[in-house]
Amino acid sequence: MADILEIKNLTKIYGQGKENLCVLREVSLNISAGSFVVLLGPSGSGKSTLLNLIGMLDTATQGQIFFEGQDLCQIKSERRRSALRLQKMGFVFQFDGLLPEFNLLENVALPALMRGIDAKPRAQKLLDQLGIGHIRHKMPADLSGGEKQRAAIARALCNRPALLLADEPTGNLDAARKEQVFKDFAALARQGLTVLMVTHDVHAANFADAVYTLENQQLIRSN
């Protein structure tokens, strides 16, 4: 299939002058539509940084990120960035990012609601699939880490994104739940969703179409 994401010579340097820190040095990566890609790498190697750049949550120092043929680094208007994110991308942040003043069901349905779509039935279905449908009325503060993490996965999927960016989405889950999420992502990829997932769990590689490791500012394909 065609490449949905084409990253060319991407460099990210935090800070300025002597205090600067180069996290990504001319990193290139192509991801074809409908694939499940796993990103490994030591803590602090720049995995979240890369996801943030793809999600337009931060700006690159140099390089290009083509998403469906469009260079994301050239989209300067925050309004246009937000609109594109909302329409095409789903995020699971490393820290769940649920809104504390809304219950689980509302949190999951919210991104779709922002597009004028009543997604509560779909939100309920996703929560059921992830085994937390029965606690849909609970508030985020009253949930376990794993429950919050599963709600964040449901929220990212509810809007039917083209690209799912998932930053350690299973770090708080037990082994069985973890494996189920990996299987779900692989199945969703078969249906056309592109998944880029950061994890420290090498076992995830068994379910992925491609595995990359980020280390020493470089991205290396490891399968």
Please name every residue paired with 29 in a beta bridge, in sequence order, or none if there are none: 7
For residue 48, state whether it binds Mg ion (rule: CB under 5 A): yes
Looking only at residues 3 through 62 of this chain, which bind ligand ATP when binding is defined by CB under 6 A? Answer: 14-15, 21, 23, 41, 43-49
Phi, psi of 129 (to 5 degrees): -60, -35
Contact 222, 40 (CB under 8 A): yes
**Least Cβ distance, residue 25 to Mg ion (angstroms):** 18
- Taking the C-alpha atoms of residue 94 and residue 170, their distance in angstroms, rounded to an integer, is 9
Find all residues with CB under 8 Å of 75, minimum gap 6, and list them. 56, 81, 84
The one of Mg ion, ligand ATP, none whose footprint includes residue 107, by CB under 5 to 8 A per kind, is none
The answer to whether 170 contacts ligand ATP (rule: CB under 6 A) is no
If the CB atoms of residues 105 and 204 are measured against ligand ATP, the closer one turns out to be 204
204 binds ligand ATP (CB under 6 A): no
Q: Residues 52, 57, 58, 63: is their CA dihedral positive or negative?
A: positive
Print the binding letters for residues 56-95 with ligand ATP: x by CB under 6 A, - otherwise. --------------------------------------x-
Choose the one of ligand ATP, Mg ion, none that binds residue 41, judging by a C-beta under 5 to 8 angstroms depending on kind.
Answer: ligand ATP
- How many alpha carbons fall within 13 Å on the CB side of residue 78? 2
Q: Which residues are at the interface with ligand ATP (CB under 6 A)?
A: 14-15, 21, 23, 41, 43-49, 94
